[in-house]
Amino acid sequence: MKPCVKKQQRISRSQWMLSHPVVDVLSRLTRPMLPAILAVMSLDLYDIYLVSQLGTQSLAALSFTIPITSILFAVAIGLTIGTTAVLSHSLGKGDHHETQRLVTDSFLFSSTVAILLGIIGIVTIKPLFHYLGANYALIPDSFHLGPKPDIMPLITEYMQLRYLGFVFMLIPLLANGVMRAVGDAQFAGRLMLSWAILTALLDSLLMWQAGENASLIDIGKGHLIADSLTSIVSMVLLVKREKLLIFERFSQTEFWCSLRRLLHIGLPAISISLLTPIAFAIVTSWVAFYGREAVAAFGVLSRIETVALFLPMALSTSLPIFIGQNYAANLINRCCSAIRKSLLISLAVQLVVYIALVTGANQIAQQFSDSPQVTHLIVYMLWFLPLGYLGQGVVILVVSSLNAMHRPKTALVLSVIRMFGLLVPFAYLGAYLGSLDGLFISMMISNLLIGIIAYLWLNRICSREYELNISPKVESPDLDTVNS
């Protein structure tokens, strides 16, 4: 196909977001991503299931690593959000060369960050997991209610593999965000779906080959191989198919210009993404006081949560693209209408998900452990924590919308309030007053409260936008002050 035809297709894919009905555009952007998001979110739950067959000790080891692997994923998502938001504004202006430069510079910078974090992570594995209580060395025997399993060697080997593969995990996520930003959501969904299926197959195959010697390490190897192969395919697609990743003479001036725009959205987005795993790492260290069974159960619930929130997650990948281009075109009414409709759909679906989880709590718990204590804790958590997912879904959509509207500081403040103004203090207070039961109930309450706060905050922002009728500019760093 001739380059000019491809260019015209890219322009058409982006321009229809400005004129077609809101629901139609959101549906066309989100539908292709639903199976992909569900597959990616389910992959971690599938890994939990595979490891649960190895026993409670292996399940506890994997559960301790979840906050850290979530931090790596959060950094990747934050960089992707920054790239997608800036790219959407660039596409709204119709400057194709600027778009190519942004994509190329984003990949260069993000890959460098991933390599540096991987090196730092490998060096700090033991002290970090000692702090989280993985070897229970910092917890006096008199306060510890369970045995002291030696799981540090297992955690160390597994995390070395995950850190080594971090850059390869990042590249497909960036490529997916870029393809969605240019309107090619269908192909982006296929890429993510293929990635998840390949990883699941490799995890299963490696564990099957190991037989009686199967361990958590086989899961790490499966991720490393699948991430490496998918990253190669992603790079080829961006170079050959999308013509957005270019190799030309390096321009320091253009690179720093691109980096400044990327970090304006990316740094707050990374900070927001990091808040959740950091808060859960703190909570996990508190749960560790109640034994490895409690940690194992909490790890299972954290992965069920990612699957249960798949629709808000899917909408959060398409909504910022829609808002970014419409906001750049000063179509404020379309932006706010899209956010409100997405919130209504999310609340309805999350209520159905909660009912389904409560109804099938016993059957779900039995799939992940033969230990009566672990299954009891999973069932108990399923009665309370998923109700808070209604509020979490609202926050996910509001935060992603604020980033797309170039209000990263407002999004960051809202996320800080959620995690360290409500969730962590509530969890500590609940654990102090009601032990493990109180911890989980208080987490549910905090998530519902922040959902209400986020919705009211969004209404205020939309009202101000209608009144002021601001014409946004990509370069402006001060849009957050509108809400001051």
What are the tens digits of pLDDT across the range 387-427?
999 999 999 999 888 877 878 788 888 988 998 999 999 98
Whether the predicted pLDDT of 467 surpasses 70: no
Per-residue pLDDT tens for 261-303? Answer: 777 777 777 777 778 788 888 888 788 777 777 888 888 888 8
Instruction: Tell me the chain's radius of gyration from C-alpha atoms.
Output: 22
Closest C-alpha to 51, from 34, 68, 65, 72: 65
Cα–Cα separations (whole angstroms), residue 467 to 138, 341, 463, 477: 56, 21, 6, 20
| Close Cβ partners of 143 (under 8 Å, ≥ 6 residues apart) | 289
Closest C-alpha to 87, from 453, 466, 462, 404: 404
Of the listed ranges 133-137, 366-370, 375-379, the one predicted with least confidence = 133-137
Per-residue pLDDT tens for 63-120? Answer: 888 888 888 888 888 888 778 777 766 665 555 667 777 888 888 888 888 999 999 9
pLDDT at 469: 55
Cα–Cα separations (whole angstroms), residue 469 to 121, 192, 207, 337: 46, 38, 58, 15
pLDDT band of 252, cuts 50, 70, 90: confident
The per-residue pLDDT of the chain, averaged, comes to 80
Pairwise CA distance, residues 226 & 222, whole Å: 6
pTM, whole model, 2 decimals? Answer: 0.71
Query: How much helix, strand and coil, in percent to the nearest 5, is found in the chain?
Result: 85, 0, 15
pLDDT at 146: 46
In 3-state terms, what secondary structure has residue 85? helix
Whether the predicted pLDDT of 430 surpasses 80: yes
pLDDT at 483: 44
pLDDT at 481: 44
Closest C-alpha to 146, from 284, 292, 283, 295: 292
Closest C-alpha to 63, from 382, 342, 410, 368: 368
pLDDT at 188: 81
Pairwise CA distance, residues 472 & 461, whole Å: 14
Per-residue pLDDT tens for 178-235? Answer: 887 777 777 788 888 899 999 999 999 999 988 888 888 899 899 999 999 999 998 8
Pairwise CA distance, residues 20 & 407, whole Å: 25
Neighbours of 453 (CB within 10 A): 19
Closest C-alpha to 479, from 466, 458, 460, 461: 461
Pairwise CA distance, residues 151 & 139, whole Å: 15
Q: With contact defined as beta carbons under 8 Å apart, do 421 and 277 qualify?
A: no
- Write the DSSP assignment of 463-480 as a string of letters: HHHHHH-----TT-S-GG
Phi, psi dihedral angles at 196 (to 5 degrees): -65, -45
> Mean per-residue pLDDT for 155-172?
90
> Mean per-residue pLDDT for 53-65?
81
